Structure 1
Amino acid sequence: MPPETELKTIVIVEDDVAMREIVTHKLSASGFVVKEAEDGKAGIDLIVETKPSLVLLDLMLPEVDGFAVLETIRKHKDPEIANTPIIILSNLWSNKDILKTKALHVQAYLVKAYFTTEEILKKVQEVLANPEKFAELSVNNQSGGPPINQ
């Protein structure tokens, strides 16, 4: 494991406790520092406070939904926060939802019902290794998820 100063911090904003815990466990076991928020308002506060390397964001959240979290982060006055790589991890998968997040420059959109924690970890690693490559939305459903038209 790299020295603590080199560890990447990931914020996961997810209201489903079980989902949040299994993803947190997988990422932590892989050497990431993971911070958790269970609603959108807490997520915004945590992202601004920690300036993470990456955010995993659900869209259906209490308090403030994921779309509003995404808009708030992208419009933040601090460019380090505004340009944080964000992966959507949601069960919403309509073209409308995907296009709305694409307009706000997410790095990937994963339909959580169709991805294992190993696949989520792999996408996190890919985005962190080359965030510029993922500046355009990468919709991925390799696990046989629903067809998604971009």
Structure 2
Amino acid sequence: MKKRILIIEDEKVLRETLEDYLREDGFDVKIAMDGEIGMNLIKEEEFDLIVLDIILPKKDGFKILEEVKEDEKRKNIPVIILTNLESVEDIQKAFERGVTNYLVKSDHSLIEVSEKIKKILKI
């Protein structure tokens, strides 16, 4: 059975490129272009991992991360933050809220993101 990944990302090119790349790598991928749609999908469906941007329309990534980690049914879903924010404060805030991994977009290729996902999912 394919592992299901939800990508919550508002940058269209990155969202679609990452989606295509992960599908080619054998994952079942769903996408959301804003935080509200993403949170609705999290509540309605089952995912093995979430890739989450912080700066999103309607609901930011920190709020989504908090809601996921406060939900008994979903709190163990690994969450990777993939963002442009690279301040120590943002990184610390994410780990305090239970993020599994924090990746700065400009520092990681799609191959590296996919490898991190596989490592977390033990593939």
Compute the TM-score of the two structures, normalised by the length of structure 2.
Answer: 0.96
CA contact (8 A) 2:65 2:98 kept: no
Query: Structure 1: how far apart are the matches of 2:112 and 2:59?
Result: 27
Residue matched to 2:38: 43
Displacement over 3 Å in runs of 4+: none
Aligned ranges 1:27-106 → 2 under 5 Å:
27-78=22-73, 81-106=74-99
User: Per-residue deviation at 1:113?
Assistant: 1.3
CA contact (8 A) 2:5 2:51 kept: yes
The one of the two structures with greater contact order (alpha-carbon pairs below 8 A, sep at least 6) is 2
User: Per-residue deviation at 1:76?
Assistant: 1.2
Gapped runs of 5+ residues in structure 1? 1-5, 131-150
Q: CA RMSD in A?
A: 1.0
* Aligned sequence identity (%): 39
Residue matched to 1:147: none
Q: Give the total of aligned pairs.
A: 123
Residue matched to 1:20: 15
Query: Structure 2: how far apart are the matches of 1:120 and 1:40?
Result: 20
Compute the TM-score of the two structures, normalised by the length of structure 1.
Answer: 0.80
Deviations 1:103-140 (A, max 9, x none): 1111110001121111110000011118xxxxxxxxxx
Deviations 1:29-80 (A, max 9, x none): 01100000011111111112222000000000000000001011111132xx
Query: Structure 2: how far apart are the matches of 1:7 and 1:17?
Result: 24
Larger Rg, first or second structure (1 or 2): 1
